[in-house]
Amino acid sequence: MTHASPVPTARLSGRRVVVTGGARGIGASIARRFRGEGADVAILDLLEEQGRATAAEIGGTFHRVDLSDEQNTRDALGEAMDALSGIDVLVNNAGILRFAPLLEISVADWDAMFQINTRAMLVTTQVAAKRMIAQKSPGKIINMASMGGKTGGAGQGHYAASKAAVIALTRVTALELGAHSITANCLCPGYVLTEMGAATRTEADIAQWSSYSPLGRLAQPDDVAGVAAFLASPDADYLTGQSFNVTGGMIMH
């Protein structure tokens, strides 16, 4: 059964939004949803061709970034904020996923996972939050964690640990930036059936994972984008420091 996308509203009208990893998958769905709800959107991604195509499709801007490079990250985000004439919402969506048994994870693999999934998020949060504070206006930071950050997963020691760190970083961000009217929340998706995910999983895999949800299906990127749009909207102004499970009930804590 195909899950229908909700009808867009204008509740994000005038919001200036930066989405990292917005070229494809969940990030592209978030960018489309935000733009459909009236936001001005800038996409940051390493995938230049796909990023430019997505930005052109939604009428946003694209800025190439290498999140493993601190200075390039700062520069690219600064460029994106300048293009938007400021920033109201930062969506830290970009991340990588690799598999390895616990006893075979190298220090280099561990560091690479944290470099993209967690350290880059710290850098973008610092840069965007300073701009939000200087603007003297409320801001929102939405971080992409994972169900794995709460439950772990065999073969995902470095990934799960990096996403658990995202949850902790989000809470500290909420605690420290609340005085500036900046909220910080994170999303913890389960199995999301992106184009890449569908191409690397068999029908049996998809059926098995679907059975773990009381709803009997996997998430579509739009399922995650809808929750992100809610968190970016005025409806979520009093929510901060929370990690929201977008798992179809696969976990309930």
Report the mean per-residue pLDDT for the chain.
94
pLDDT at 9: 75
**Residues labelled catalytic:** 159
Q: Domains of the chain: which residue ranges?
A: 16-191+221-243
Helix axes 48-58, 25-36, angle to 10 degrees: 20
Q: Dihedral (C-alpha) 228, 233, 234, 236: value to the nearest 10 degrees?
A: 0
pTM of the model: 0.94
Q: What is the pLDDT of residue 117?
A: 98
The amino acid that residue 233 corresponds to is: S
Encode pLDDT of 227-250 as tens digits: 999 999 999 999 999 999 999 999
Burial class (CB in 10 A: 0-12, 13-18, 19+), 109: middle
Helix 157-177 vs helix 120-135: crossing angle, to nearest 10: 20
Q: Which two tokens stand for residue 242?
A: 């929370």
Q: What is the pLDDT of residues 4-25, one digit of tens each?
A: 455 557 999 999 999 999 999 9
Label the pairing between strands 40-45 and 61-64.
parallel
Return the number of other C-beta atoms located less than 10 Å from residue 233's C-beta.
Answer: 18
Q: What are phi and psi of 143, to 5 degrees?
A: -105, 145
* Low-confidence winner among 121-125, 144-148, 202-206 (lowest mean pLDDT): 202-206
Q: For residue 205, what pLDDT is reported? A: 86
For 16-191+221-243, which CATH superfamily applies? NAD(P)-binding Rossmann-like Domain (3.40.50.720)
What is the model's pLDDT at position 4?
47
Q: What is the pLDDT of residues 170-205, one digit of tens each?
A: 999 999 999 999 999 999 999 998 876 666 678 898
| Predicted confidence (pLDDT) at residue 220 exceeds the cutoff of 60 | yes
